[in-house]
Amino acid sequence: MLDSCVFVIFGSTGHLSRTKLLPSLFNLDVAGQLPKGLVILCVGRKDWTTDSWRKEVGKWLEPAAKLVDSQSLPQFLARLHYFKGDIAEPASFEQLRNTLETTAEFPSNQVFYLSLPPAEYKGVARSLAAVGLNQESGGWRRLVIEKPFGYDLEDAESLDHGLRRDFDEHQLFRIDHYLGKETVQNVFLFRFANIMLEPLWNRNFIDHVQITHCESAGIEDRASFYEGAGALRDMIQSHLMQMLALVAMEPPPNLDAESIRDEKVKVLKSIRPIPKNAVHAHAFRAQYGRGHIGGQSVPGYLEEADIPAHSTTETYAAMKLYIDNWRWRNVPFYLRTGKRMARHGSHIAIRFKHPPQQLFRETPIHDIPQNWLLLGIQPEQCIRAEVQIREPGIGMRTRTTQLDASTCTPEGCDYKLDAYETLLLDVIEGDHSQYLRSDEVTWAWRVVDPMLKVWAMERDFIQTYPAGTWGPVEANRLFEREDQCWRNSMALDGC
């Protein structure tokens, strides 16, 4: 049974709170997943009162509320309280502590969710600690921060030092919403609950692994953030590196959070370092230009609002990594992400080697396609294997067929948690399994830091690709052999 708590949201009037946090908490309440006594305290600088804030949030949630019982929205809004405060003012934190301690209906346990720019994390943590809101003498305290966890390796280590100066590691929850997605969670179960795959899950049978996240959307209204981040920081260092760790990790001794995170860290530590003089052989970047998506003309990155005319920020990044351990030695892992691509989607594609004996070399099917195992993250949430079968009739002919293990909501199940809902429940429960540990963040930064440093010095030119395509063809040079290609979708013709 989950403990009741005060769920404090800093930056509650911002985009993340409006589109993800409050809707997710509402859905959890509708599903009966929240503790009865849980209270949501929204912190912001605007002149709201609790009553006017409830009305405002009610407008945001009204479309979702129309799909459920008429009492669900009033029931949820009754959990909401508003606190006017400025995170730049120490007095605001004194007042916040007094509010938390003196309001009778507020439980003693507290979650502090920083829905703020990353530059504010250390300052808010310091201010909370200064008034004793990091102390657990009367109940537990948990601090949740969103990615990016730093700008580069040095900045990430500085952020970590600042946070851990004021909060213990068990109080810190570094959220990566990708880890809450259904298929991502299913990767773990799929690997370790099915013994038939384990003998094949190694360098002896697997040719290579691809991890892809593509978006048809551009940067939209995130110009200031994206110009300072780029595709490598935004997606590969966080989301895709976590996918790699889940695919490549060894079975943990048990299911506790530390055992799982220990195995993920071992993978990140085993990634072969890329020296600066080898960056171009292992990584490729590009930027989208004008093109067409869905029949509509779309502008290039340099034509987007508030983007500098000579920006070399990458909107596409791809890299090749090797994991130097007994299981994966010399198996390439290809990671790729991009904006304004042909289609939106995320998946993991694992290609197996050819059978060692060329049994069919003197038949019409001497060149048999290799087997694939496909793990769809979004929009398709499924696990799919591609195998060869014989076509009926005279002669030896084959075709590729797909065996689909759908992970969609089972028939009769009325509710399905999305990524944020799953992770918010975990933080209330105190489960770190799907949250990043300090050393996970550091080792992931160590992998990409050489690329960031090299690219930061190359400000005169960046390769481009037309919007609405699968990215620059020059990225194919990362592949080890000519028969390797990017797997663009879960369909049979995915290459």
Give the C-alpha distances (Å, rounded to integers) separating 70 from 30, 75, 81, 106, 147: 11, 9, 21, 26, 36
CA distances from 330 to 5, 207, 266 (A): 48, 9, 17
Q: Is residue 162 part of a domain?
A: no
Q: Are residues 282 and 397 in the same domain?
A: yes
Question: Average pLDDT by consecutive 10-residue portion of the chain (495 residues)?
Answer: 92 89 93 93 92 92 84 93 94 96 94 92 96 93 91 91 94 83 73 85 96 92 85 91 93 88 94 94 95 92 91 96 96 96 93 78 68 87 82 71 64 58 91 89 94 91 94 94 89 74
Torsion region of 230: left, alpha or beta (phi above 0 gives left; psi -120 to 50 gives alpha):
left
Half-sphere exposure of 298 (CA within 13 A, CB side): 24
Residue 18 has what DSSP assignment? I
Specify if 352 maps to a domain: yes
Q: Which pLDDT score, from 0 to 100, does residue 405 have? A: 75
Residue 131 has a CB neighbour count (10 Å cut-off) of 18
- Angstrom distance (rounded) from CA 388 to CA 401: 6
In this structure, is residue 157 part of a structural domain? no
**Do the domain assignments include residue 432?**
no
- Give yes or no: residues 195 and 122 share one domain: no
Strand 172-175 relative to strand 435-436: parallel, antiparallel, unpaired?
Answer: antiparallel
Residue 309 and residue 442 in one domain = yes
- Please tell me whether residues 300 and 196 are part of one structural domain: yes
Is the distance from CB of 249 to CB of 265 less than 8 angstroms? no
Decide if 358 is inside a domain.
yes
CATH number for the domain spanning 256: value is 3.30.360.10
Identify the pLDDT of residue 255.
80
User: Do 348 and 443 fall within a single domain?
Assistant: yes
Decide if 1 is inside a domain. no
How confident is the model at residue 408, as a pLDDT? 45
The pTM of the full predicted model, rounded to 2 decimals, is 0.88
Are residues 257 and 192 part of one domain? yes
At 189, list the tokens.
């179960």
Domain boundary among 146, 170, 190: 146
123 and 194 co-located in one domain: no
Q: Point out the residues that are catalytic.
A: 239
Asked if 215 and 294 sit in the same domain, the reply is: yes
Which long-range CB contacts under 8 A does 368-374 form with residues at least 24 apart? 368/398, 369/400, 370/207, 372/487, 372/494, 373/349, 374/347, 374/348, 374/349, 374/350, 374/487, 374/490, 374/494
Domain that holds residue 130: 6-146
CATH code of residue 20: 3.40.50.720
Residues 30 and 114 in one domain: yes
One domain for residues 323 and 196: yes
